[in-house]
Amino acid sequence: MLRRLAFAPALALALLATPLAQASTFVFTAIPDEDETRLQERFQKVADYLTEELDVEVRFIPVNSYAAAVTAFRNDQVQLAWFGGLSGVQARERVPGSQAIAQGVEDAAFTTYFVAHRSTGLEPAPTLPDEIRGMTLTFGPMGSTSGRLMPEYYLRERFGESPNELFSRVGYSGNHSRTASLVASGAYQLGALNYTAWENEIEAGNIDPEAVRVIWQTPTYPDYQWSIRGDVDARYGEGFTDRVRQALLDMDDPELLASFPREGFIPASNEDYAPIRETGIELGLIDE
């Protein structure tokens, strides 16, 4: 059984230097699933959009880990966050009344890609092959749904062993883009990452598809979502949660959506993520 995830209190320097948000400023963050430059660029545009739609000052603050995003939400340093499935469940369980309010169209049926360096000789297959036993594998961030939780679940289901028993070396890259790079470079033979990050890396020309290929993809599961604290209506006015949800659902600027990347946003609820909660409990990442 895995050791329970310990939430590191460290936040990005910008967040450490920032006091709890004033009622006049609505602050949000996002899990660092790609490199920081991309995150800052894409979410500053989202902050500008929300400022205009909500008629309040909206500020984006970066964090340096999934655990830091959860900590910031719990400590009221942010009131809204773009979480993965697991980190969203973990955050909402620490803040009574908090809600998942929107998810990407793609997030209702998300998937993980297992990728392999060409030196392994592995080809796409309908199931994870026996040949991966004894190889090296990197997950993404430790708290990632698509980069750790669900791929580990399916590895255990397929082989009946923990990753540390199955592989000769197991790593955690920190983000999905780095997972792809580590496998492409040969630093690891195998990697598990979310499919949108993989497709972004291929499209951007950052990964040579001849050097690394997808060998298996998981069944679908719910993943990323926007979660909001349960006390925002009391602080920003009655109906504020609904206004934030509607602003996200109304986001239709192709440039904004492409930065996620998502086709658009649809309503979400805490109940949508019950399967993630159950899997997190089973793997020891969430306390019952």
pLDDT tens-digit map of 219-241: 999 999 999 999 999 999 999 99
CATH number, domain at 240?
Answer: 3.40.190.10
- With respect to residue 233, please indicate whether it lies within any of the assigned structural domains: yes
Domain presence at residue 7: no
Let me know whether 96 and 239 are in one domain. Answer: yes
Residue 287 lies in a domain: no
**190 within a domain of the structure (yes/no):** yes
188-to-167, 178, 180, 206 alpha-carbon distances in Å: 11, 11, 10, 17
Domain stops at, among 217, 233, 256? 217
Task: Quote the pTM value.
Answer: 0.82
Please state the rounded mean pLDDT for residues 70-98: 96
Residues 133 and 167 in one domain: yes
**pLDDT band (50, 70, 90) for residue 32:** confident
Q: How many domains are contained in the chain?
A: 2
Q: Which of 174, 196, 217 is the last residue of a domain?
A: 217
pLDDT band (50, 70, 90) for residue 284: confident
Average pLDDT over every residue of 38-46: 83
75 and 120 together in one domain: no
| 227/202 same-domain check | no
Domain membership of residue 144 as a residue range: 111-217
Residue 133 counted as domain residue? yes
Classify residue 4: in a domain, yes or no.
no
Which single residue is written with the structure tokens 């392999």?
A: 116
Position 2 in a domain: no
pLDDT at residue 53 is higher than 60: yes
**Does residue 264 lie within any of the structural domains?**
yes
